[in-house]
Structures are given as C-alpha cells and as structure tokens.
Structure 1
C-alpha cells in the first residue's frame, strides 16, 4: 500500500498560491494563482465547507440533492496572520496558509488536524486527469472511524476504501476521536487510503471530480454525527412492528412453508412479527408496464397475504427495478427510453442476478422523473395488496459504459442508483403516513444512507468470529451515521457445524440488545432445533426484547434529532477514554445501557466501566465506579448489562406481539440508575426530568412502577414523582 500511495501522490500537483478576494459573514473567497477559485464557508457552528473547481458538471447531476441543507447558517470573521488568514467561528479557527496552500483546524487553541504540513501542501489537483487529493497527517493515537461497514475493525487505519465498490459498503463520513471529521460531498469515486505509509502516518483522499466539495467537522463524535445528519438528512421513521423478531425464508422452501414455520414457532412460545421472503423478486414488470405477482411462487398472492394478516404476521417481499430481457415490457420500455443505456443508445442488458432468477435484464432509469414516479406508484399498489415492507438490493457493479438519462455513468451511477432505488421504495412505503414511516430492507450503502434507517447485516460464518464480525459491522455502520443495522441470527448460507447452543444464545442476545435482528428459516437455525434448556433461555431473552421495544424505538426516534445510532461503540460514546476504546466489543444500546456480550466460548467476561460515571448492574443492582474493570460470571446464557448513572430505563409491558401493545399504555416499569438527571429515551412518551434542591422531579410517570437504585426514595406528588436521597 505504501508504494501505491506514493504512486498516487505523483499524479497530483500542489495547488498554486492563494490570494484573498472577498468575504461575507459566511463565505470567504480566494483566488488560485494558476486560475480558479477556492471558497470556504462557515456552514454551521462546528462545520466548515471547502469547495473549488468546476461546479457546472456536478450541478448537472444535482449534487444538492445529497444535502438536506444547502445554504450556510454559520457566521465567521477573517483575521490576517503571518503567511495567511484565520477564519474564526466561535471557538473554532480554520487557519489558511497561502503558499503552499495548507489548512489547520483548532478548537480553543488546540490543534485538531491539518491538511498538509510544514513546507508541503496538503491539497492538490490532477496532472493528467481531473481530480483532487487531500492529505492529512495523523498522530500515532489518531483513530479513523466511520466510512461505512467493516467486519474487521472499528478503526479503519490500514485500509483502502473505494466509495463505488459495491463490496466495500462504503459511506462518506469519517471522524477521529481527537475531535474532527470530514465528508466529501460527491457522487464520483472517492478513495480513502489511511495510514498508508508506516513511517509517515497519513490519511490520503482522492476525489475523481472536477470540483472538490468537502465538509470539515469540529467537535465530539456525537456532535459530528448530529451536524452530519442535519446537513445530509435524518432518519425516516420505522413502524412499531418492525422491531419485533423477523423470520427469513429458508432456501428451497415455499412461502406456505415460511408461514407454517412462523405459526409453529409462535405456538411454541417464540414470537415472530414479520415474514421476510427471500429472492428472487416476488413480482415482474409485464407488458403495458403492469406489475404482476410471480404465479410460480404466489398463485394467489392476495389470499396468502390476507391469511398472514389474519395470523398477525407482517410481510417483507423482495422487489427489484429490473425488467427481464425476455419479457414483453423490455422492448416497450426500451422504446420509451426508460431503461439505462449502453454506448449505442440501446437498453443495456445486464447479466442475471438472483433477484431475476439469473436471467438477463434491463434496469429502470430512475434518474428519469417519469420512470421514478412510475416505479413508486406501482410499488404503492403492492402495499395496497397487503405487503408491509420491500426488500431490494440495487447496488450493482454497473459498467462504466452504462449511462442514465441525466448523464450519470461509471462511479457516479454506481453510487446514485442504489440511493434512488431506496428512496423510491421508502416514498412508496410511507405514502399517506404522517409522520412518514416505512421499512426498506437492503444491504446497499450510498451517500445520506441514514435517511433510510434499516440496513441488513452481512452474511458471516456460523462461528464465534462470525458473531464478532456481525457486531463490528453494526458498530461501524452506526459510526458512519446509519441508526439501524440488523443482525442475522446465524447464516443459512454458511456451514452449520460450529453453531452450538451456547453460540446460538450468545448470538441472540446481541440481537435482542440491538436495533433489530432476524431469525433464519433453516430448521437447524431455529430455536426449536435446540434442547429444552436452550429454548427456555431463548424465550426469556425474547420476552426481554419486547420489554425493550419502547426504549429501542425511542433511540431510533432520537436519531432523527441527534443523528446517533442505536448501537454505539466506545470510541463514539467515550472519545476521551482510551481505555474504554480498547474494549471494542462493548457498546452502548441507546444512551442508557452498557452491553458487554460474550464473543467467545466461556462463562465469564471482563467489563470496563467508562471513566467519569457510575454504572449499575441490571441483574443485581450493584453499583460500579467508572474507570475500573471487573470480571463477571455469565452462567446459563446470562449477558452483563449495566445502567448509566443519572439515566432512566423505561420498560414496556412485553407480550408476544406488538399488536398486543396498548398504545395508550406502552410502559410498565421505570428503572432508575442513581439520581435521575437525564430525560429518558422512550418512544412517543413525554417524560421530563428536572432537578431542584438536591432532588429530581419527574413528570410523565403516571401509573408506572418505579424501581429505584439503592439509597434513593420515591415519593409521588400528584402527576409528579420526587426522587431524593434516602434518609
């Protein structure tokens, strides 16, 4: 990788010297000596935007659609300094050096990062081809987090990530626990080479665009995610039922087998909310642009959907924006110009994929407004027929010679297409719902992916390492701004020899204490495949899941306000505690619960309690000081979970189906971890904590059982609860 980066650096020349031109309260323009302009915006508090190059080409692709907020809302002042200028926005200062052009970001006089270093520019433009590079020196203790899903490690140092590689599952946001972050606002190829030279640690970014447009963030990781989600858009709302257990269709089984398996599980005390049909697509685009259910799989689709509804089962059905080459619709849509084309202007024929039963197909050109609306309207009809969610993977390795109506091709089209497909399906699912809510089940990643909160987890081996990979994937996706990634409870696509009862229960517990999980329909991976003791533990943890649903959905709702994921790594939650970051498998579930899963065989685990706070064991009520590590026994499938001092855990009434929930009374108990100081995370309930004279006063707990930690007493005062120290 060292040689590769050195070679790549040689393809760029340093930017010529800068000269100040003009400024407003938000925007500062500089002329580049060799021609062109560089513009810096104080885009928002803690957020700067640097742009340069030719804007026209990118605007033709409507890159503004990647942003929820295009106009700057910050203010800054310009101060001259030796060799350049300082742009000051509150406590944040961006220093701009004129020759060679380089940049340094400070907060309260503390250097956070720089682009380039003494005597060497950190920004350059392509020599032979249009493009830009940025180079950021790294300290030994600089971790780089985000940038999409990784099953290897949370810190992305040592990796080479290519944004339009479908297998990379890349996302644009990167951040360091030192208090800075960045994202490149582009649809073209962006390459991230991190720590690529051992003797000169650095973060090397290549942008294959005529125009450079990059945002720099300043603040704690949580602040960065908040700013990023404000800028690029925040999560859509999932429905209540989506957080219960899902069941995936087994290979070679029918939908009738799937429904029968769910019924048997429910009768045995294992709740199932949603049936998830596997591919291929459950419907095709036929002649006259009509959708028709696949009669070979669903001879009477509406009748089967009605039967599932009667059994309190939701349906996630697979779709795909492809048109079989052998269908009547292909020629008709080609004549209309509604399919992606090749160099000759004809509809491009893709090789078959599982969604098309491996038959050749064309892709609907979703950049075309009429095509986009057509596909959305047809998918709405499927929801009218009775489906509840759509599964669709549209992140394909689209060849460079394939072109869309709006001119997108190559890397731009590879990133744009899955984004359009997912947004289209969410529009269909959320039709006439206020607030908009829906589920689009997909593995795709794309800019602003957090607007659609559900991302399916990876296929991993049925081993302890596979469980660890699943957890890393969820934590890295969350660190990249996506609130929800699902966990598969095992994999029906991998050998089963290593799946033991112990591993199965540990895997399920990670799913229970996560945003979402899905059972595999293969009989060997169902709870009923294991002994009675294992089945009893599974039932216990599923009961816990239903009690946690109001809290988990509240954490997803919070993501629409603060951008934080449901599962939060130690680096994201405790950036100032290096010891905590060493415990990569620990995580916060929402703001209040610390979870320490077992990722290897055994009956004990060492837990580190992040410094500066106390932590309360949910099983025993014992209190542990932060900054300490303890080893806990974990017999019979127990998992250590701890409440965060000053926080509240609101638990639901439980049950075996969300349809049994009383919408007027979702909560049953409130657990206090020390003296309450933080209003709780909980869906659709307004509970407020106030402090006064050494006590906490809480409104909104009418009718709920309150479980205080040791040393506290509870007194009800009408609609208000007073929590104070026991006398």
Structure 2
C-alpha cells in the first residue's frame, strides 16, 4: 500500500498542469495521480482524484459506462469558472457568487457563497496500492448548531447529526445527498460503499471506498441544491392523473371480490377511490417450465377481475419478484444459461423466501444481462396491456459479498445497483411505450438514482400517534434527499388496529389528503366502515378535499419534473434562513403555496409556527398573519391548520369520486388568492398564467371559474381574462 498523501501546500505551489474555463487539474504523486476540479454547473463543482488511468481510462467498458449512466443523467460539465492563485499554495475557483478554495496548510477545501465561507473540509487521501481499492475520507467541520439534512429516510429527527449510515446496508435506508441550511451540499458519486458518520456533533466524516474519489460539491439554498442534484442525477417523469387519486391496499388473505365490494361500499357512501393494490404474494410470475408469465392462482380469472375493475374506473396494482422459483425446470434452464446471479462457487444464488414469493426460495434474475432485463420488461409490458395498472416490486436484497453478476458487479456495488436495475426495467414496461413517458411503479427500495422513478412507497408503521408521525417524517426526509414523491399508508393491516381511534384516523387522513398521496388499508378494522356515522361523514368530507386538490397536487408533481423539489417540503429546506422554523419538523410546505401544520397529538390543540419572510392567510378563517409568529389553534376534526402563502394562489378542481369523472379539459373549478398574486399558479399542465402589471395582475384562462379574492382586492372579468387590483 502506498503511503497516505494529503492536499498540502507543496502539491499546489507548482500550479495546475491543465487549466480551461471548465476544468483545472493538478499533478500528484510524481504525476502518477491527478486532482481534477470541474465547473459542472452553476454552483456545482466536481472534484475527482485518483490514478491517471482511472481518470482517463480511454474508452470505458460497457459495464463502466452502464454504471456511469445509472448514476448521472448529465456527464459533461456545462459551467465555467475563473481560477486564481492565492498565497500559501491556495487556489480559488469561482463561479459567480459560488467559489471553492483548495489547498493551503490545513490540507483541505473551503466553499464560499457570496464571499462567506459556508463549509470547510479536510481531504486526506489513501491511494490504491497493488490494484487494491483505497478509502477516501472527507472530514467536514460543522459549525455549532449547524444541522445536516438528507442522507435518506428516517422516522426520527430530520437533522441527521448523531447517525451512522452505510450506503449498501438496506436497513439504514441511506441516500447519497447531504446538505446544510448554511448553503452547501455534497454527493459522493459511486455505487461502492459510503459511510456517513455524524456521531460527533461538530463533524461529518464521509468515507468512500474505491479506486478514485468522485465528489460533487453544491453551493446555494437547499432548493437550489435539490434542483442541481436532480438535474445531475435524473428526475422522474410526469405520472398519469389517476395515481394521484386515493388508493386501497388489499389486506393479506382477502379475495379480489371482497376488495371490490369494499370499493363499491366506499363509492356508495360518497367516498372517492382510484386504485387497488393486490396483496402479496406476487400477482404474476414465470411458469415453472416456460419464460412466460401466468397470473396467480389466487386470482381465479384475471380477465374477469380486470373487467370488473374497469367498470368501476378502478386501476389495479400488484407485486412481482425479479426471479424464478427454485426447484423448477425454468430455474435449472436459466442457471445453465447464466441468467441468474451466482455465488462464489459459480452456482446460482438462492434467495430465501419473501412475502412476494409466498415464502418459497427463488433465484434472482441477473438484470445486468441485457437479454434477461429485456425479457423481464417485455413480460411486464404484456401484463400492463392485460390490465395491470402499476407493478409493485421490492428488490433491495441484502446480497452476500460472494454473490456476483455476469458483468462482474459484486458486494456493495451489486447491492446498490440491483434495485436500480429492477426499477428501470419495470418503469420501462409501464411508461416506455408512451410519449411523453407517463406511469408509476411502486417500491420501498432506496438507492442512488431512486428519484428517477415514480412512485416511492411509505413505510409500514404502527397504528398509533407515533406511527402517524413516523410516516410524515419519512416523507419529509426522503424529500430532503431528492425524492419528490413518497406516499403514506393510513395505518398498517399487519399490526393491531385497536389503537386507531376516530380522532387519530381523521388527523392521519387529513395529513394524507394534503400530501403527495396515501392509501387506505383493506383490513376491516382500518376501513371507514369500522367507525361511526359521524366519522364516516368526515372521511367523505376529507376525500372530497383530496379530489378538489388534484389540479394543485398534479401541478406540484409536474413542477418536480422541472425543478426536483419535493411535494412535501420540510421547514429546513423551504426556510433555511429561519433557524426557528427548523425545529418544527412535522410542519411542511405542500408545494410553494400552502403551509400545512398537521395535528400530531390527541386533544385537538396544536401550535403552529409561521416562518419569517412571508405573510400567511388562514384557509379556514381568511385571516392574515405576519410571518415569524407562533399561534395556538384548536381545529375541529373537519379542519386542518393550512395557511396560504401571500402572493400565491391555490387552484382547485371539482369534487369527484375518481379521476375518471374529471374532464381534463376543464380540470379547474375555483381559484383562491392569498393577497396580490405575484407568482404563476401551480396547476396541472400550466393551464393559467399570471401577468404582472403596475399595481395589478392579469390572469388568463379563468373564464367561468369562481374567483375568491383575499381581503382588499377587486376582481374584474373581461372574457377569459381576469384583472385583480387593490381595492380603492
């Protein structure tokens, strides 16, 4: 092993060996190594360090190119920077108000925003020796009280200080982006193992394993960081409208006819519903002796089920497994063909049984093999044509280090890349034939690049107030990590339902209505029919709100396609300059216009903090409040503390029982204004726009809609144009 080297003075005193508007490069270790810094995008620096043949491999192998494409949607730098020599072997690389200072006696780097240092790190380098991989440690010094956000899913504090997370350990629920409200972020670009150690309050140590170091540094507000990170690593496409309607998760052991009757019962009570998720085991899989899918025997007649669902305007989803059952002729055939992952001896690795396989062991398809992945995609494409609305697949297996793919992937790389390959294949089946790509597939898997695929499932949680808080924090934490959409389960059919009171049920439901989406649980004790008539009436009330919100929610998701911002936005992400707001980690912005403060405790009394920098309009009373204030509120079970952000508008649609009742050409029914409009409204497919004039606004495309002005505004119509001005 070569001795450890550091980024010290002597490395930089001789100056760069390469200097272009987008790239600066220094020679290290007798010019056997190089340190390269690129202006990858405005406010984004890419720092790579390693042997020259790692940085400049010539034509990359197909395996290396495939992994690079899975990690980055944009490979080439698109920014420019100025390079300036400072004293003591330090160099300053500047892009506008974002700059990176590198070198100096402390062997490190410093990130600046507008001339102010926002982050400092120490960069010791342990290079590879004799072909072995090294460990690269970036030690970030955190300021007192500085929070660090992102890094995947958690049901605890959104500030990840105190945690130790390992990227390829499934139970850690880790994602690679970390950021601070001070204005910086970091992303280690690798499928190999990365450890994020925040157990020391004043430091964050990121340790990456690999031949070279590939580190992206971001400078800007958290929203700007999420925008640049998702532009770099990829974003999901716009889904159809129906997935934004209400879902029902079938409980284990229930028949399809029983679930259809539950749907009919909800509809008869005026409750909306759009999708049914069939319970595990997998609803379809390979025949024992042929590479052809067959529908599960527990669905006696899939065609009849699909037809019955179509009559109800109901979409069906069901689970699948990326494998073939052990002990079948097809298992033996594909083992001989090399289409299954193998163990260290070259024999097919047998995965222990899972709920999706009904407990039967199976061999995992080697999805690094193009023919295998293509076949799996084609079979699901046929299932979609037969009426499957969305596949459900959990493919994040804790693969032993000895398991290897045909392309050579093994260990941490295979554990991180395999769920990405499975999700890509399924998304191609659902959305591939459509232009533009529309569709969803459901999964709990987390991996680098997960934000490219819609739709992320929420966790299984307990049927109590703690479980309610856990699912909310999980959605906010993955939103902090670059995932735009995570759904919620209203309870868990696999746990005792006795702790689910009517009050908790309605509070949980109200939060789910004002979120990306949620699902009822088919267990009778967790369905609306388990409660009294007054509670059921309130359930119907909240479901009407859900369908009226669809234009706005669809607009937020459409906005996420362009910006990478999540549907539910934490206070730290939305208001980084207001430290007091960060402590309110169960409040969130729903898109840009609405502040939602769910009631998180029994008793009906809660506190709300309205962040500084904006004024807020109470949707329930119409009163206006200044930001930077705290209020105690006592909402009834038919209300939720929701506040409109001044200068924004809320676009609502008609009440409906499913999205099939909504006319996509006239999806808007009503517009609520919070003060003088200053921002374009968030609405599906941007059907309306705002033009600013002196002292007033013109809104086009609102003919025939009800306009609800906030206090002190006048509204005048002229054809399809509405003029809003201050009352005189």
Q: TM-score range by the shorter chain?
A: over 0.9
Q: What is the alpha-carbon distance in structure 1 between the residues aligned to residue 254 and residue 526 of structure 2?
A: 14
Q: Aligned pair 1:42/2:39, yes or no?
A: yes
Counterpart residue number, 2:151: 147
Partner of 1:649: helix, strand, or coil? strand
Counterpart residue number, 1:5: none
Counterpart residue number, 1:109: 115
Q: What is the alpha-carbon distance in structure 2 between the residues aligned to residue 18 and residue 454 of structure 1?
A: 47
8 A Cα contact 1:61 1:407, kept in partner: no
Q: Give CA deviations for 1:485-541 in whole Å, capped at 9, x if unaligned.
A: 011001112222211000000010110000010000000000110011111111100
- The offset of 1:59, in angstroms, is 7.7
Partner of 1:69: helix, strand, or coil? coil
8 A Cα contact 1:123 1:135, kept in partner: no
Counterpart residue number, 2:275: 274
Q: What is the alpha-carbon distance in structure 1 between the residues aligned to residue 609 and residue 481 of structure 2?
A: 24
- 1:146-165 matched pairs, under 5 angstroms: 146-165=150-169
Counterpart residue number, 1:394: 395
Q: Name structure 1 gaps, 5 residues minimum.
A: 1-10
Partner of 2:724: helix, strand, or coil? strand
Q: What is the alpha-carbon distance in structure 2 between the residues aligned to residue 12 and residue 179 of structure 1?
A: 31
Q: TM-score, normalised by structure 1?
A: 0.95
Q: What is the alpha-carbon distance in structure 1 between the residues aligned to residue 192 and residue 483 of structure 2?
A: 21
RMSD: 1.6
- The offset of 1:122, in angstroms, is 5.1
Q: 1:593 to 1:77 in 2, by over 3 A?
A: same
- 1:208-247 matched pairs, under 5 angstroms: 208-247=209-248
Counterpart residue number, 1:680: 681
Q: Give CA deviations for 1:369-407 in whole Å, capped at 9, x if unaligned.
A: 111111110100001111100000000101110101111
8 A Cα contact 1:125 1:133, kept in partner: no
Which range moves more in the overlay, 260-269 or 222-231? Answer: 260-269
- The offset of 1:129, in angstroms, is 5.2
Number of paired residues? Answer: 709
- The offset of 1:141, in angstroms, is 2.2
Partner of 1:18: helix, strand, or coil? helix
Q: Name structure 2 gaps, 5 residues minimum.
A: none
8 A Cα contact 1:15 1:125, kept in partner: no
Counterpart residue number, 1:324: 325
Q: What is the alpha-carbon distance in structure 1 between the residues aligned to residue 396 and residue 174 of structure 2?
A: 11
Q: 1:404 to 1:597 in 2, by over 3 A?
A: same
Counterpart residue number, 2:648: 647
8 A Cα contact 2:126 2:134, kept in partner: no
Partner of 2:45: helix, strand, or coil? strand
Counterpart residue number, 1:8: none
Q: Give CA deviations for 1:135-168 in whole Å, capped at 9, x if unaligned.
A: 1000112111111110011100100111111112
8 A Cα contact 2:715 2:722, kept in partner: yes
Q: What is the alpha-carbon distance in structure 1 between the residues aligned to residue 146 and residue 602 of structure 2?
A: 32
Q: What is the alpha-carbon distance in structure 2 between the residues aligned to residue 122 and residue 667 of structure 1?
A: 57
Which range moves more in the overlay, 155-164 or 99-108? Answer: 99-108
Counterpart residue number, 2:86: 81
Partner of 1:289: helix, strand, or coil? coil
Q: 1:68 to 1:260 in 2, by over 3 A?
A: same
Q: What is the alpha-carbon distance in structure 1 between the residues aligned to residue 431 and residue 4 of structure 2?
A: 46
- The offset of 1:315, in angstroms, is 0.1
- The offset of 1:696, in angstroms, is 1.1
Q: TM-score, normalised by structure 2?
A: 0.95
Q: What is the alpha-carbon distance in structure 2 between the residues aligned to residue 723 and residue 325 of structure 1?
A: 68
Counterpart residue number, 1:61: 64
Counterpart residue number, 1:290: 292
Which range moves more in the overlay, 100-109 or 366-375? Answer: 100-109
8 A Cα contact 2:133 2:210, kept in partner: no
Partner of 2:545: helix, strand, or coil? helix
Q: 1:187 aligns with which of 185, 191, 200?
A: 191
Q: What is the alpha-carbon distance in structure 2 between the residues aligned to residue 498 and residue 288 of structure 1?
A: 47
Q: What is the alpha-carbon distance in structure 2 between the residues aligned to residue 12 and residue 526 of structure 1?
A: 61
